[in-house]
Amino acid sequence: MGLSVPRASNIVPRRQQGAHPVGQTARTPNTGEAVRFYRRSNGRLGGDTALTLASKCGAVRAARFAVLEKEQDIPVADIPDRIVLKRDRDLDGRGWEIWVRRGLFVLLPLVALLGLLNIFGQHPQTLTKSARGASLKLSAPARVRSGLIYQARFHITTQRDLKQATLVLSPGWLESMTVNTIEPSPVNEGSNNGKLTLGLGHIPAGSSHLLFMQFQTNPTNAGHRDASVELRDGDQSLFRLHRTITVFP
């Protein structure tokens, strides 16, 4: 029985120990493989093993592994002076302080809510007074804030002839207030015992007169004062409308 001789194309030379197949070169592990291998070791690689592995990955890769190894050896800083962990970190015996902070924080939206509810003013108040054949309807805010610009509206109606209609304003109308404009302009202005007088001239019976005053509250103005208004016909006082104004800082 004859022996079969293998063809030359089927003959593969035996590999030497550690040799690579014909046509292939030794492959250097890339950085991703090295990092994954290092992580799988859970830090158990020694310094020599890390350096050997890093040297195969190049100088840049060696620097990266050196940083990883150093990060594991960084010592924890000591507790700073005057810091007590039980008091400053664990807040032992200081649980009530968080409620103080929360209470102070609630004050911020509470102040804004009170402002929306007109607690600090700006919304006009309407007052009416009638006597001796004349009436006055006054629209002006009773509570204002520092810096606020607001309007006062005086509406006078008469059932009799007023030859020299005059408005007398208490000092509280102008105390630390800036008068921006008065329309229509009074016939004359003056002072009567420390009060501002605005002469409106002749108002025929059955007619009305409108007077607008624009004010601005000065920032340093704060307090509660009298802001009454009196209607006169010449030297005769027809009536006095009492009111007050409160200025918030």
Domains in the chain (CATH in brackets) are 27-92 (no CATH), 124-248 (2.60.40.10)
Mean pLDDT of 128-147: 93
Confidence of residue 2 (pLDDT cuts 50, 70, 90): very low
* Mean pLDDT, residues 86-100 taken together: 83
pLDDT exceeds cutoff 70 at 74: no
Residue 1 pLDDT:
45
Report the SS3 class of residue 249. coil
Closest to 196 in 3D by CA, of 177, 221, 222: 177
pLDDT at 211 over 70: yes
Measure the CA–CA gap between 162 and 202, rounded to whole angstroms: 6
pLDDT higher than threshold 80 for residue 73? no
Q: How confident is the model at residue 222 (pLDDT cuts 50, 70, 90)?
A: confident
pLDDT score for 23: 46
High-pLDDT (> 90) share of the chain, %: 43
- How confident is the model over 190-195, as a mean pLDDT? 91
- Whether the pLDDT of residue 140 is over 60: the answer is yes
The dihedrals phi and psi of 86, each to the nearest 5 degrees, come to -65, -35
pLDDT value, residue 62: 58
Mean pLDDT of 57-71: 60
pLDDT score at 137: 97
Examine the pLDDT at 110 and tell me if it is beyond 70. Answer: yes
Q: Beta 143-145 vs 244-248: how paired, if at all?
A: parallel
Contact predicate 115/218, CB 8 Å: no
Q: What is the mean pLDDT of residues 67-88?
A: 71
CA atoms of 155 and 137, how far apart (whole Å): 5
What rounded mean pLDDT belongs to the chain? 79
Q: What is the 3-state secondary structure (H, E, C) of 165-212?
A: EEEEECHHHCCCEEEEEEECCCCEEEEECCEEEEEEEEECCCCEEEEE
For the sheet with 143-145, list strands across it: 143-145, 244-248, 223-226
Interval 222-235 mean pLDDT: 93
Compare 32 and 172 and report the one with higher pLDDT: 172
Q: How far out from the chain centre does Cα 16 lie?
A: 78
The pLDDT value recorded for residue 26 is: 47
Helix H or strand E segment including 114: helix 97-116
